[in-house]
Structure 1
């Protein structure tokens, strides 16, 4: 047998490269940061190459590190898949999908319903969690993420680059719109603001939307309704709590059914696309490929629009 690099060190390298931190890698592996650092030094000695540039608590891959990372990630994914197949024996295929909180109910669930039409006997495990996740260790077949930068070395498919537009319930607009299709003069308490959390800085705001529509208004979030999930913004608007900057792919069903109306054709694109990440060994499975195909279907044109902004 050909000489193999130390496998524990390979695992420590893969986790550290993916997490971007020895400390985070140590937490995931259940060991100390010093142990991870030692494993990396062992691997660097074995290869005769420096794999990371260390700057305080920060690490970045060197050219040599970038060269070996994709193969190590694939190899560990293949090993995890073999282990899972052996443990499950002859059990039917189970599709394991990991998804952020906002996408689970309004976007992913309807797509899974379509997938089950083609695979009616499929077992599905949906895990709702924030980035980062360990696809190999947790035997995840497909991870949906905001942005294309979370999981280097895995197969990447860009699903949709979504946009936001102002939406509300028809009854709400009848009460507060006063027959005016514009939003410039509405009271600030009627706007729903989405707080994406401290990890994101590229999400569009109401100020961005007014700028895109040719205005200069910047509604104050402290005077309106604030929610912590983009899906909750859609739900709040549907329930008549205000006007939300709703993501088009999430608002699709409500717009088509007339539960929401779009108040403008002007939209603002999100800073990053939604992407699917898969271990290369699983990407060609029929159920995984089928779900990716469903998720890449473009959203329809806006429904229920009542007029252009002013």
Structure 2
């Protein structure tokens, strides 16, 4: 029995427009003009006898009919894409394009990607480091580790636990300053401050931590100012002073004893980290398995 299929180019245009919410973005992704996307959508609508989109300002929104066909269409096209990719590449290995913010790449993600790869010998990935928000369609991203899931409202989301900061130092620093076991005895000049940068609207500070601990807040003008949260941990591990460090990024150092916590009083970051992915790619091999594996592992201990 012959298959009943709408025009495939029209389906591709529809899927891209539904995923990006824009004819212009769909056109950029497929390498055609926005007018060509509009023409393909009209062809699909004529074939089905249904309106697929409603225009709202500069975006397009799916109608009920559009929603009804989107899920199956996206999944079917992804399956065709995956099968074609495997045949063309002539290999069974699956490569995911993974995008991550810089702060957690080296300190948290790398060791966990290595562990997953050892457990799944056929798994291959391309790792990119870039700031939030990442452009999934332009850069063909499969999985994104980012901060604050609100930045990816139209994507599938797997939440990681909300990270916290707490006082961390090296055993060598503590041996030189045994009184530092009581944070009130830590010299202000030994505090490592994180300069969080413009991407963080709210961020924890030593001032806030001391207030929460019921201690006199230190002067922000004293101590060290470091422009990256991962470097703060590096300097603390070298014995330079006491960091208000992220537990998520310090997990491996804490487990190995390279860093120790001087207090369990902590301050939560403003938002959780998350793993985001295009819903149309949810069937891609290893994508959800990796995302769920990363989220199920010991994030904050």
User: Into which bin does the TM-score normalised by the smaller protein fall?
Assistant: 0.7 to 0.9
Q: Distance in 1 between matches of 2:223 and 2:248?
A: 24
Listed as ranges, the matches of 1:33-44 within 5 Å are: none
Change (3 A) 1:285 1:92: closer
Per-residue CA shift, 1:136-175, capped at 9, x if unaligned? Answer: 4434332111111122232211122111111011212333
User: 1:304 is matched with which residue?
Assistant: none
Q: Is the 8 A contact 1:193 1:205 kept in 2?
A: yes
Q: Distance in 1 between matches of 2:134 and 2:124?
A: 21
User: 1:159 is matched with which residue?
Assistant: 160
Q: Distance in 2 between matches of 1:284 and 1:9?
A: 20
Q: Is the 8 A contact 2:94 2:285 kept in 1?
A: no
1:90 and 2:91 aligned: yes
Q: Distance in 2 between matches of 1:116 and 1:296?
A: 16
Point out the more displaced range, 85-94 or 97-106: 85-94
Q: Tell me the TM-score normalised to structure 1 length.
A: 0.72
Q: Is the 8 A contact 1:73 1:154 kept in 2?
A: no
Listed as ranges, the matches of 1:194-233 within 5 Å are: 194-220=194-220, 222-233=221-232
The secondary structure found in structure 2 opposite 1:226 is strand
Superposed displacement of residue 275, structure 1: 0.9
The secondary structure found in structure 2 opposite 1:156 is strand
The secondary structure found in structure 2 opposite 1:184 is helix
Q: Distance in 2 between matches of 1:75 and 1:197?
A: 42
1:189 and 2:189 aligned: yes
Q: Distance in 2 between matches of 1:108 and 1:185?
A: 34
Q: Tell me the TM-score normalised to structure 2 length.
A: 0.74
Q: Is the 8 A contact 1:81 1:139 kept in 2?
A: no
The number of aligned residues is 286
Q: Distance in 1 between matches of 2:141 and 2:116?
A: 17
User: 2:147 is matched with which residue?
Assistant: 146
The secondary structure found in structure 2 opposite 1:237 is helix
Listed as ranges, the matches of 1:50-69 within 5 Å are: 50-53=54-57
Superposed displacement of residue 108, structure 1: 0.8
Q: Distance in 1 between matches of 2:244 and 2:298?
A: 19
Q: Is the 8 A contact 1:142 1:276 kept in 2?
A: yes
Q: Is the 8 A contact 2:101 2:130 kept in 1?
A: yes
Q: Is the 8 A contact 2:188 2:218 kept in 1?
A: no
Per-residue CA shift, 1:205-239, capped at 9, x if unaligned? Answer: 1122112212351541x433222322221111111
Q: Distance in 2 between matches of 1:116 and 1:182?
A: 42
Q: Which has the larger radius of gyration?
A: 2
